[in-house]
Amino acid sequence: MDETEFDIPAAMAESVRSRAGAWALVTGFAGYWGEPLVPGDGFTDAELDAAERRLGLRLPAALREAYRLFGRRADLTSSHDVLLTPDELHVLDGALVYRAENQGCAHWGVPLDELGREDPPTVVRPDLADKSQERWEPWEERFSTAAAAMALMEKLLEDHELSDVLESGDELPDGFRELPALGRDFRWYQAPDVLVGAAGDAWVVARARTPEALEALYEAVPGPRSGG
């Protein structure tokens, strides 16, 4: 795919305006930075219908769309944290849980009283030693935004020779442009053939499209690496 075929700044800006924009971002991003999406990358309507019957509730349109589009693509959903499969969806204290931190340190969900909205807000619940203090806290205003941010960050965190974690204190060199905001506490930067995602002050992860682009990043940002 030629670089002009996927304008990630424009796609990211559009992704926060509509569900269609979010799914266009995921589709374009998957093809440009990895493998294009194909029909088998999503769950079927039958699988999602079965989850609704088991749970006794209706899944929001945005959740169904995301699961149908890329729910089976582990590189976009489960490189670090885990998108639950339809038969793993469950209710916890007033929210439908759809995602879990890889060590169980947090869960993400949709409030049950928001399930009637096509693109409902999401919440997060940190795992605390004192369970009586655990609460659902606001996360993204729309599920589609949460899903799009998840897809980008999980791809960058994929165990792949062209991905690597940088030191959180590293300063990006000249030539990187900051991309439109997408996802709570995430910042995104782009240089030719390199995409960088920063999660708060916790870590910075980079994905290159070529070995040469990754090597150029290493030369520009010296320091310890995770090994990709």
- Is residue 20 predicted with pLDDT exceeding 90? yes
Q: What are phi and psi of 37, to 5 degrees?
A: -70, 140
CA 56 to chain centroid: 27
Q: pTM of whole model > 0.95?
A: no
- Is residue 2 predicted with pLDDT exceeding 50? no
pLDDT band at 48 (very low <50, low <70, confident <90, very high): very high
Q: What is the pLDDT of residues 87-138, one digit of tens each?
A: 999 999 999 999 999 887 899 999 999 999 999 999 999 887 777 788 999 9
Pairing of strands 194-199, 186-191: antiparallel
DSSP 54-114: HHTSPPPHHHHHHHHHHTT-HHHH-SSSEEPPGGG-EEETTEEEEEE-TTSSEEEEEEGGG
- Is residue 1 predicted with pLDDT exceeding 60? no
Q: What is the pLDDT of residues 84-98, one digit of tens each?
A: 999 999 999 999 999
> Helix 143-156 and helix 61-70: axis angle, to 10°?
30
- Is residue 3 predicted with pLDDT exceeding 50? no
Q: What is the pLDDT of residues 200-228, one digit of tens each?
A: 777 789 999 999 999 988 888 765 455 55
Q: What is the pLDDT of residues 146-183, one digit of tens each?
A: 999 999 999 999 989 999 988 765 567 778 899 999 99
> At which residue do the structure tokens 């194909």 appear?
38
